[in-house]
Amino acid sequence: EAEIVWQWKLYDHMVQDIDSTKNNFGVISEHPELIDINSRNFQGGGSASADWFHMNSVNYNAELDQIIFSSRSLNEIYIIDHSTSIEEAAGHTGGIAGKGGDILFRWGNPRIYHRGGIEDQRLYGQHDAHWIPGDRPGGGNLMIFNNGSGRPEGNFSTIEVVQPPLNGFNYNIPEGEKYGPEDALWTFEGAGNTEFYSSRISGAQRQPNGNTLICSGNQYRIFEVDPAGNLVWDYINPVNQNGALSQGSSSSSRDMFRAYRYSPDYPAFEGKDLIPGDPLESNPQPYLCNIYDITTSVNTLTQKDDFQIFPNPGSDIVYISNDLPGNYNLTLMDMTGQPMISYSNIHQQNFELDVSPYPPGVYILRIGNAAKRLMITKP
């Protein structure tokens, strides 16, 4: 039978200002290290649900021996000490940080501990709060999928990278004020073909090259952006609870909780057959999927030479040349396989295509049975 070697309970670190006869009675603003048990009512959350806190992610930092977790309901993230004993974790002293199981750092909604107003709220139903690994760009900072439900300016999701005010194994907080920073160090909001919104679930992962992989769960979409916010990869989940869907299907119920990328040398893959099989979707479009174990650009992939595109990337007019015999059909598709524009029975060996109406991103240009990637940019 397994033995519990460490545990932490939220109810050991509560404060309330309603009943002075209880041991946890106190002034909320004087105890940012504790969580106000009545904060859900303060947020207008309605009845006292058993899931009033809704912890939706947990992540461990071995170097600090600390844990970060997220409360969707309170719109906050929290860091606690893991170096404590079980007894210390239930109290307010002990551990490397010296504060037992009390909150070492919190961020996103200082209204919860009465040190801010609605204008200070930064998180809205967030998920997947975690430390960026130290060997990746931004290592040591916190990455959060900020779902964005209930933002004053409207519902939209963002990826937030937050640099916590770490001081040894504790975190600085000015006397009587809220935890910093005031704003995220880096925020990806998206625009055009990278615009995204997921009211629940979802996550993000920093890549070794500095790109960010994003899982927009309610959109059943995984996509990757570079540090400048340009779309470099895009994937739509083609499977729901009933199985595989047809290419380009608009069916819903394909939510994804989270997505991670693993390199081919990931230890769990040792001895496993990694030869790719058929596409997951039924009736797939022609595809160009080669396996690369290093990061490359869309312009260096080896593809068929049945036709050429210049310039690629392009932002206005691109020129397509080919040596195909007879007439041919041409289709420009987005990365989900949805046609953007089609031409039939083209006879010119040199064809001009206006791509200016389309948002920046990666597209597939198909001529007959051949296809190539086309990157559209904006000047």
From residue 330, how far is each of 145, 253, 333, 367, 376 by CA, in Å?
A: 39, 32, 10, 5, 17
Which tokens in the block code for residue 51?
Answer: 């899931």
| Interatomic CA distance for residues 257 and 158, integer angstroms | 16
Burial grade of 245 (CB within 10 A; 0-12, 13-18, 19 or more):
buried
pLDDT at 348: 83
User: Phi and psi (nearest 5°) for 268?
Assistant: -65, -15
pLDDT of the chain, 379 residues: tens digit per residue? 899 999 999 999 999 999 999 999 999 999 999 999 998 754 444 555 678 899 999 999 999 999 999 999 999 999 999 999 999 999 999 999 999 999 999 999 999 999 999 999 999 999 999 999 999 999 999 999 999 999 999 999 999 999 999 999 999 999 999 999 999 999 999 887 678 999 999 999 999 999 999 999 999 999 999 999 999 999 888 888 778 887 777 777 789 999 999 998 899 999 988 887 778 887 776 655 554 444 444 444 334 457 889 888 888 899 998 877 778 888 998 877 778 899 988 888 888 999 989 888 788 888 877 788 888 877 6
User: Helices (H), strands (E): how many in the chain?
Assistant: 2, 25
Q: From the CB of residue 181, how many other CB atoms can be counted at a distance below 10 Å?
A: 12
pLDDT at 41: 59
pLDDT at 360: 81
Q: Fold for domain 10-269?
A: Methylamine Dehydrogenase; Chain H (2.130.10)
Does domain 307-376 fall under CATH 3.40.50.880? My reply is: no
Residue span(s) of the chain under CATH 2.60.40.10 come to 307-376
Which tokens in the block code for residue 129?
Answer: 């709060």
Contact predicate 89/101, CB 8 Å? yes
Q: From the CB of residue 207, how many other CB atoms can be counted at a distance below 10 Å?
A: 17
Residue span(s) of the chain under CATH 2.130.10 come to 10-269
Global confidence as pTM: 0.76
DSSP secondary structure code for residue 16 in this structure: B
pLDDT at 313: 84
Contact predicate 202/127, CB 8 Å? yes
User: Phi and psi (nearest 5°) for 315?
Assistant: -130, -15
Contact predicate 113/36, CB 8 Å? yes
